[in-house]
Structure 1
Amino acid sequence: MAVKVKKIERKKMPFLERIYIFYIIAGMARTFRHFIRNLLNTKNIEFLEYPEQKPEDITPRYRGLHRLTKYESGELKCVACDMCATACPAKCIYIEACEVEGSKEKAPKVFNIDLLECVFCGLCVEACPKDAIRMDSGIFTKVEGKREDFISDINELSSRKRGDF
């Protein structure tokens, strides 16, 4: 059985369309118009002096930096089940478990989140069976000088409180 192949001829584009010069000039003209308009009338430029001024349009469902929750006794709710690390598409969560004396459950000895790898999707929060990890800290940016400072460890995660939006 022979396969029928239909050839479709492409129309040759004119030279000016092939180099996209018209579109480049149109885009640059629009950018230049915005630049001149903002340069002449600086009072209409909206800006926010973050973190002194907080944005007003942040909803309670907005995902901020992670935090680990605790029981009222002060003990972490996390049982190091590794569900959050398994659900994480960026693979930015590292958990090392240890056994708790006098209990059948485990606890995290090491719980690190690499914030430079994290995509803030919230799948770790959804996967947690104990509601131990949340993204409602109210902290939306973190500024540091070195890459190592963007790794949140168990002490930093457990010390964060629920933020007010």
Structure 2
Amino acid sequence: MAVVKLKRPDLAAGEKLYLGAIFKGFLITMKHAFDSLRGKTRGSDELKSSGLGATMQYPEQKWDDQLPEYYRGAPALVTDEQDRERCVSCQLCEFICPPKAIKITPGEIPSDDPWAKVEKRPKEFEIDMIRCIYCGMCEEVCPEQAIYLRKDYAITGLSREQMVHDKERLYEIGGKRVGLVNKWNELK
């Protein structure tokens, strides 16, 4: 395969100094500044801005009502209507997680439990929210619909340890899901 060398076009004296581009950028910035002072900022109505500019005032105003239907937020575990764990510790979500943010330790269900036919449940289930990239693969691969991505984007913590959500925290923020759960199906 032949190598083709391209010669860059020679720049004029004004282009070499790039003062024209700086001046043009300054004019655009000033136009936006004067428009915001006159209350004619484009997009301020949709963002419910404070009036000056199109900046949303974050802690007071949030995107919750403007999130698209397909938005994927932070993952959480859910229980069924009777507060039973949906997770069967199959570890598919752990294996498919690209950043390896999920860690599961399977545990056995005692034989005297009425749901002992299920084989196992998670003894420990942790999701590192710092590592999580909110890709949704864990939700897609879960055969028991035990993990869901909720529409939550404001996850905060004061330390790295607080950003690792354990099983209790994941169930607390996940809540209940209504519907058929394969794990508790009598025909299974």
The TM-score by the shorter chain falls in which range?
Answer: 0.7 to 0.9
- Please list every run of 5 or more consecutive structure 2 residues that lacks an aligned counterpart in the other structure: 40-49, 178-188
TM-score (norm 1): 0.75
Query: Percent identity at matched positions?
Result: 28
How far the C-alpha of 1:50 sits from its partner, in A, is 4.5
- 1:1-165 to structure 2, matched below 5 A, reads 4-14=2-12, 16-18=14-16, 20-41=18-39, 43=51, 45=53, 47=56, 50=59, 55-102=64-111, 103=116, 105-136=119-150, 138-160=151-173, 161=175
Q: Classify the secondary structure of the residue corresponding to 2:124.
A: strand
Amino acid aligned to 1:142:
I
Provide the C-alpha distance between the structure 2 equivalents of 1:52 and 1:9, rounded to a whole number of angstroms: 52
Aligned residue pairs total: 160
Q: Is the contact made by 2:78 and 2:176 (CA closer than 8 Å) also made in structure 1?
A: no
Q: Give the alignment's Cα RMSD to 1 decimal.
A: 3.0
Cα 1:154–1:28, aligned 2, differ >3 Å: closer, same or farther?
farther
Cα 1:14–1:83, aligned 2, differ >3 Å: closer, same or farther?
farther
Q: CA-to-partner distance for each residue in 1:55-78, whole Å, 9 max, x for gaps? A: 322344432332212233322111
Q: CA-to-partner distance for each residue in 1:23-60, whole Å, 9 max, x for gaps? A: 34323332232233324436364545646766322344
Q: Is the contact made by 1:112 and 1:151 (CA closer than 8 Å) also made in structure 2?
A: yes
TM-score (norm 2): 0.67
